[in-house]
Amino acid sequence: MDKEYESVYNVLENMPILVDKIAIKSKKSIAEVNQILTMLEIEGLVKSCPGNTYTLIDD
């Protein structure tokens, strides 16, 4: 996994977390975070949830 993606992935939890909080914790802009989350979702690593939140996908 790309180092840039890891910084966002490592912030995520098994419970939904707001994109704003992900951006703050990963020290990235919301635009960057949204782009990375989209790619992680395509790769099947995360899923979007209601309320502009994301969570890890359980294996």
* C-alpha angle 6-23-36 in degrees, rounded to nearest 5: 45
Please indicate, yes or no, whether the overall pTM of this predicted structure exceeds 0.75: yes
Query: What is the structure's pLDDT at 59?
Result: 64
User: What CATH number is attached to the domain comprising 32?
Assistant: 1.10.10.10
Phi, psi at 4, each rounded to 5°: -65, -40
Structural domains counted in the chain = 1
pLDDT at 8: 97
Residue 34: give the domain boundaries.
3-56
Q: Which segments in the chain show pLDDT lower than 70?
A: 59
Helical packing angle, 19-26 and 30-42, nearest 10°: 110
